[in-house]
Amino acid sequence: MSESPVLRIGAREAAARLNLLAGHTPVPMLARVLRARGAAAVVITGDTHDWLDTPHAQGWLARPRSGPADHAARFEAALAQGWVAADAAVLARLPDHASAADLPVLSCGDRRIPWVPPRDARPDAGVYAIVDSAARVRACAEAGARLVQLRIKAERDHPALVPELREALRAAQAHGATLVVNDHWRSALAIGAPALHLGQEDWLSLDETERAAIAAAQALGLQLGLSSHSLWELCRARGAAPAMVACGPVWPTLTKAMPWVPQGLDNLAWWVRMAGLPVVAIGGILAPEQLAQAAATGAATACVVRGLGDDPHATLPVWQAAWREGRSRSRITPPAWPHPTLAPDRPAPPASPAPLPA
Section 268-274 average pLDDT = 98
Total number of domains in the chain: 2
Task: Give the pLDDT of residue 258.
Answer: 72
Is 357 a domain residue? no
Phi and psi (nearest 5°) for 49? -130, 135
Section 299-317 average pLDDT = 97
Is 277 a domain residue? yes
Q: Could you tell me the end-to-end alpha-carbon distance of the chain, in angstroms, rounded to an integer?
A: 25
Q: How far apart are CA 298 and CA 281, in angstroms?
A: 10
In this prediction the pTM is 0.94
Task: Give the pLDDT of residue 257.
Answer: 65
Task: Give the pLDDT of residue 122.
Answer: 74
Torsion of CA 264, 183, 209, 63, to 10 degrees: -10
Q: Which residue range is the domain that position 284 belongs to?
A: 126-327
The DSSP symbol for 221 reads T
Do 167 and 208 fall within a single domain?
A: yes
Do 134 and 92 fall within a single domain?
A: no
Section 220-248 average pLDDT = 98
205-226 exposure pattern, b = at least 16 Cβ within 10 A, e = fewer: ebeeeebeebeebbeeebbbbb
Do 146 and 76 fall within a single domain?
A: no
Domain of residue 39, CATH code: 3.40.1190.20
Section 90-115 average pLDDT = 96
Task: Give the pLDDT of residue 357.
Answer: 31
